[in-house]
């Protein structure tokens, strides 16, 4: 079950809130019917939280000057999507294995660089 806030975040990040079955899908139907409210059965599974103890996550946090997600006031979720999104301190990324390419690391940095703590 997702909260209204979670649904709003997913919609703001253009993440579909439901999966159509093959029987219901036709070439003329739109993929999302904005007039129809989203029901519990249509909502995708909640994304999983990232393992904060992962070396990759620790390096990312260190790069922005924090020791933990809580210190950074950041929630980081993993889902099966090929994109990186940050909205209202909620970061959504693909699996960490997919984040190892230079292009994905650059995209991640561009998304989170403004969170960087100024060290004096």
Domains of the chain, residue spans: 1-45, 47-120
DSSP 8-class letter at 33: -
* CB-CB neighbours of 7 under 10 Å: 14
pLDDT average, residue stretch 16-41? 47
The angle at the Cα of 34, spanning 31 to 36, to the nearest 5 degrees, equals 100
Strands 90-93 and 75-78: parallel
Please tell me whether the overall predicted TM-score, pTM, comes out greater than 0.75 for this model.
Answer: no
Contact present, 9 and 88 (Cβ < 8 Å)? yes
Alpha carbon distance 16, 32 (integer Å): 8
Higher pLDDT, 81 or 87: 87
Alpha carbon distance 37, 54 (integer Å): 38
| pLDDT given at position 45 | 60
């Amino acid at each position: 079950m997702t909260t209204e806030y979670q649904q709003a975040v997913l919609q703001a990040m253009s993440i579909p809130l439901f999966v159509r079955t093959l029987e219901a899908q036709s070439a003329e139907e739109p993929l999302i019917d904005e007039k129809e409210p989203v029901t519990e059965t249509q909502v995708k599974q909640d994304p999983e939280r990232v393992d904060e103890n992962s070396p990759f996550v620790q390096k990312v946090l260190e790069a922005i000057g924090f020791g933990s997600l809580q210190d950074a006031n950041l929630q980081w979720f993993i889902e099966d999507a090929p994109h990186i999104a940050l909205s209202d301190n909620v970061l959504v990324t693909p699996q960490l294995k997919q984040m190892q390419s230079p292009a994905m690391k650059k995209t991640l940095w561009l998304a989170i660089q403004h969170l960087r703590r100024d060290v004096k």
